[in-house]
């Protein structure tokens, strides 16, 4: 492993679609929640505003992705990992990838992450107030793979040992998982397409090793919010009051955590399998969930770089082949979760610069 490929997760929800119009109001995009956000306590930095160089962009304009790719490339990123939404043969938020496939632009490597969870109005993958339900069936699995094969053929598509990379966000939600993996791989073989290199995200898998179901790799997804106390508890708690008071905030409702503390807790987990590292930039989804949001404060470019470097050092110790060299950064543009590399009014290009400094460091000291 002499060279790493840094990939940033890309959210395509910056253009309106009928499903979001119906659920949230006409013209809804990621910017809708970002713009209306307000501070919930003293020192809470909201709303986050994009730097004037990018503005509140609209992905219906294909030039936007070209600008983003050039920016990402100039700071050392190898490619984007696009969230992919497939619901029983129907794709959502598909316009940016469709434009890429149709035009061949931008000339920037990519792969897909299947965000296979039900869409609901609670923004946490819970099946409450459902917008679009995630379902599974063997015929749809075959249909899905046949569509994916057309994408895998794109010369920009990222591969490991000539096998197209495909990540599944919630692998254990899939019924008969081993059969599902077998179908995905066998359909490619039947059509003279290289089997996909399937990566399971461990965001919802715990310690169970997905490789026993046929996966080729595991992504150590961040943030691992489940390690934080009362993370899914929206009601008022004494424990919240005590934790918040220690940070100078008087509230028994808000869920507020410190970035360094959260990163240490997430990084302390030892999994019984090798995995691709993933580092999150920041987290504050109060633009989506208001008082029920999860707020991780005190992230800085320097701290982000520190923990990104630490994840790489840990990765170097794992028994993986030369092309199993993917390092994920979450995320490029999750603005309503406060989790983005893109430049903003507060930090400018500092997070990108901090990432570039880490990328430039030699992997093997000579």
pLDDT in tens, 347-360: 999 999 999 999 99
State mean pLDDT over 133-151: 96
Whole-angstrom Cα distance, residue 256 to residue 253?
Answer: 9
Q: Is the CB of residue 108 less than 8 Å from the CB of residue 98?
A: no
State mean pLDDT over 253-274: 91
> Residue holding tokens 């004037």?
52
Alpha helices by DSSP H, listed for 268-333, are: 286-289, 301-315
pLDDT at 305 over 90: yes
Q: E strands within 107-195?
A: 110-114, 119-120, 130-132, 159-160, 163-168
State mean pLDDT over 72-85: 98
Please give the CATH number for the structural domain made up of 5-360: 3.20.20.80
pLDDT at 126 over 90: no
CA atoms within 13 A on the CB side of 172: 13
* Domain map (residue ranges) of the chain: 5-360
> Residues in the chain, how many?
366
State mean pLDDT over 128-136: 90
Query: In the predicted model, what is the mean pLDDT of the chain?
Result: 94
Whole-angstrom Cα distance, residue 364 to residue 353?
Answer: 21
Whole-angstrom Cα distance, residue 90 to residue 137?
Answer: 14
Residue 260 confidence class, pLDDT cut points 50, 70, 90:
very high
For residue 209, count CB atoms less than 10 angstroms from its CB and return exposed for 0-12, middle for 13-18, buried for 19 or more. Answer: middle
Residue 328 confidence class, pLDDT cut points 50, 70, 90:
very high
pLDDT at 366 over 50: no
pLDDT at 98 over 80: yes
């Amino acid at each position: 492993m002499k060279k790493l490929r840094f990939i940033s997760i890309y959210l395509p929800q910056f253009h309106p679609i009928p499903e979001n119009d119906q659920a949230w109001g006409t013209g809804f995009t990621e910017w809708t929640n970002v713009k209306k956000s307000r501070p919930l306590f003293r020192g809470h930095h909201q709303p986050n505003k994009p730097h004037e160089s990018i503005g509140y962009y609209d992905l219906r304009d294909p030039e936007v992705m070209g600008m983003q790719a050039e920016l990402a490339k100039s700071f050392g990123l190898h490619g984007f990992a696009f969230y992919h939404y497939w619901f029983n043969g129907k794709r959502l938020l598909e316009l940016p990838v469709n434009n890429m496939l149709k035009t061949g632009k931008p000339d920037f490597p990519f792969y897909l992450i299947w965000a296979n969870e039900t869409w609901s109005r609670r923004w946490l993958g819970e099946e409450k107030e459902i917008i679009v339900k995630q379902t599974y069936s063997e015929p749809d699995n075959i249909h899905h793979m046949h569509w994916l094969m057309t994408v895998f053929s794109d010369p920009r598509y990222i591969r490991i040992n000539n096998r197209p990379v495909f990540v599944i966000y919630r692998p254990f939600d899939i019924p008969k998982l081993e059969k599902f993996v077998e179908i995905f791989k066998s359909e490619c073989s039947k059509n003279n397409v290289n089997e996909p290199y399937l990566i399971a995200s461990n965001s919802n898998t715990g310690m169970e090793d997905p490789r026993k179901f046929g996966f080729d790799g595991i992504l150590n997804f961040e943030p691992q919010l489940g390690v934080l106390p009362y993370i899914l508890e929206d009601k008022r708690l004494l424990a919240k009051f005590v934790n918040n008071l220690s940070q100078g905030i008087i509230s028994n409702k808000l869920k507020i955590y410190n970035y360094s503390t959260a990163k240490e807790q997430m990084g302390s987990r030892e999994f019984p399998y090798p995995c691709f590292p993933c580092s999150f930039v920041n987290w504050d989804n109060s633009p989506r969930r208001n008082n029920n949001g999860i707020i991780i404060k005190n992230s800085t470019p320097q701290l982000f770089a520190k923990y990104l470097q630490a994840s790489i050092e840990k990765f170097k110790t794992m028994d993986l082949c030369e092309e199993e060299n993917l390092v994920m950064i979450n995320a490029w543009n999750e603005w309503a979760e406060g989790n983005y590399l893109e430049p903003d009014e507060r930090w400018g290009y500092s997070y990108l610069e901090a990432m570039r400094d880490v990328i430039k460091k030699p992997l093997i000291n000579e």
